[in-house]
Each structure stands twice: as C-alpha cells, then as structure tokens.
Amino acid sequence: MAPSHPGALPSGFVIDDLIASAGPVPARAPGARWHQVALLATAAALGANGRVRSDLAGVLQSLDRPDAAAQAAQDAGDQPWARWWATLTVGQRSGDAAVRAVRDALAMDPGPGPDGREVARRLGDLSDELAALSGRGTEHARFSLQGITQGSPRRALLVGRSSATFLVEPTWDAMRLIRLGPSEGPSGGNRAHLNLGEIVESVRRGERGADRPVPPDEPGTLAADALLAGLREDRGVRDRRLLDLADEVRVERERLAAERAQLQKEKSTLASVLRQAQAIKAEGAAAVAVKVPATRADAATLLELPVDASNDEVERAFRTQIVRCHPDRVADMHPTIRGHAEGLTVALNAARDLLVGNGVSRGRRAG
C-alpha cells in the first residue's frame, strides 16, 4: 500500500531497523561508534522513545563529546541510563568545577526498576572512586590501569568498578584527577580489581595496563564531517563490530574462568582449614578425657609401666612423657592443645606420686 502522502515513511519500521542496525552500544572502534551515532540520531529524529536518546548519549560520551551527549541525555527524559550518562558528561569537562558538579549529580535519584537499581549501584561506586582519587580514601574503590603516556605532561587513564574512566596525572604516591574520560560502556569496569595504592605501584613499575590511547585534557566537540563519515560505513564494519563483541565475550569468559578457578582454590583451602579445626576439636575432646589417676593401676597405665615398676623406672617413664608437655613446646600451638598439655602434666605428676610414694616431694615435680 502506498504512503498516504508523498514522502511519508512507515516510521515505526524504519526506527526499529535503525536501532537494530546500530548494534551494541557503544561499539569498540571509533568509526563504528560514529556509525551508531548516525543511526541512533536518525531514529531519534523520527520519534524514537527516550531509551534511544539515552543510548545515543552513551555513544557520544564514549566518543568524548560531552556537550552533545548531555543534550541527548536531557532529551531522553527520566531514563535511568540517561541519568548515568548525564553524570559522566558533567565530569568530562576539565577543572575542579566539573568534579564538584559530578558530586552534585550523584545525589539525584536514577528512578525505580532494575535499570534504576543498577545505575544507583554504579553511582555509588563512582562516589567511592572520586573519594579515593581526592585522597579521602575508601576501601571500596577499585580500578584498572587502561593506558599511560610517557611524555609531558604525563597522563594515565583508569577505569573504575563503576565503568567510569578517569584521566589522571600520576605522581609518586597519588593520582591527581584531571577529568572524567570517555567510557567504554557498562562492561568497562569488569576488570577493575586493584585499589588506588596498587595502581600507583604498578605505574611506578612502568606498567602500561591495557595500553589504550589516553585522551587529551580537553574533550572534543561534535563535528558534522565525523557524523557524515559514519553514514558511509561499509558492509564489513558491522561484521567487525560483531567480531569485536565476540572477542569481548571470549575475554570475559576467560576472566570468569580464572575467577572460578581461584574460588575453587580458596574453597579447597577453606576445606583444609576446616579439617584442621575439626582435628583440633577432636584433640580438645581427648584432652577432656585425660583424667588424673586415682589408683596405682591407673597411674601405671598412664605411664605405660607395670604396677610393680621400680622408682627409677617410674622416673624415667615420667620424664620421657613430661617433656612432650613442656610449655615451650606448645607455646605457639592452638589453645586447645596447650590446655591438653597442661591437663596431661597434672595427670603425669599425680601418676608419679602414686607409684613412687610419699618420698617424692612436690618441689621435684616437673612441668
């Protein structure tokens, strides 16, 4: 059926096709990102919902175009992810005022629902990361080194567990924040496992991290030529995006496999510790069973002697066993074992007294 008037488009179909053609948000390669910008911007102009504008804000933010990204996020309305991208774009502008503006934005509610809760979690992580970079310190902030320049001025690029990136100036014992950088997307923080002190040490050792390009101190502005170049994407670019995505999945699977192996190792260690604790507990139960002998027969059994053993035999057997209970031999052992040694010392002294008789004074007892 022909359109109702010349130039009319089945906009719903076109919008869906544009969104599907845009692919994952954001893509890895800058050229593919510009293609996404062109497709998503066209879909937004045709009347797509706020989520498309939010995705557009994410791609523009990843291209380090905060002014354009902020406008797209504003047009997205109350989308939770638009709140996230808007917060990052505020911090992409250099200067202390930008960082203060990010802290103000952190207080805003991203909204309800699963997306709102996920964005709220990331905002919390971002707050911890900014606190760590400002020197106030937090045990919760985790980072990964993404790249570093060796020239002057020296700069490093970090990614936090929130997936936000940070352009910093490395010093001997700290990282001075310059501005927030372009994000690689919500999965960017999956490899952020080091605290800031460990990051500083790795930079001292000359490590370069993932060796990603470090952005300049000032973000870029949206230019029409880059947007138009994105419209001229060749057929192979989308295939390359899919291959890039497959590579990301492979790397993530390898990381998860390594974490799973580490957890299995820790599980085995905990199982071993538990077995040791159970053995110590069993020894503690045995210690309770050591009773002070009340008869010569009990004393002879404890010293592993016949009842009619001579005094010299009793003394030799006593000293052979008592040396194992000496406090110096058990000083570094578990309290249960030390208690066992003390109880056995009392029992051995009583056994010797019973077998040797009253001729052995208290002052000669060992232990």
Q: Which tens digit of pLDDT belongs to each residue from 314-350?
A: 898 888 888 877 776 766 666 667 777 788 888 888 8
> CA-to-CA distance for 352 and 195, rounded, in angstroms?
61
Arch. (CATH architecture) of 290-364? Orthogonal Bundle (1.10)
Q: Which tens digit of pLDDT belongs to each residue from 58-105?
A: 888 988 888 888 899 888 888 888 888 988 988 887 666 777 778 777
Arch. (CATH architecture) of 10-108? Alpha Horseshoe (1.25)
Q: Which tens digit of pLDDT belongs to each residue from 114-139?
A: 888 898 899 889 989 998 988 887 77
pLDDT higher than threshold 80 for residue 358: no
pTM over 0.95: no
